[in-house]
Amino acid sequence: MEHDYRELKTGLGLDHFEGRSWIGWHRHVTLVTSAHLFCTELRLHDPKAAA
């Protein structure tokens, strides 16, 4: 869990949002979460490609 959170924060930019609206924050978190899912799927199906 901590590895995933660290990857979301540092690698995918979860902590880079500086907007003011709930909708903007929600869109940002949705895109970061989607990117995390993509990276995880890539790592699980083809470990050499994720390196």
Residue 19 confidence (pLDDT): 84
Residue 51 confidence (pLDDT): 56
Cβ atoms of 8 and 28 closer than 8 Å: no
Tokens of 2: 């901590």
How far out from the chain centre does Cα 39 lie? Answer: 8
Tokens of 21: 């609206």
Nearest partner of 39 among 16, 14, 10, 12, judged by Cα? 12
Residue 49 confidence (pLDDT): 65
Instruction: Summarize pLDDT for 1-51 with one digit per residue, the tens.
Output: 788 888 888 888 888 888 889 999 999 999 999 999 998 898 899 877 655
Residue 29 confidence (pLDDT): 92
| C-alpha to C-alpha distance for 41 and 28, rounded to whole angstroms | 20
Tokens of 8: 């979301």
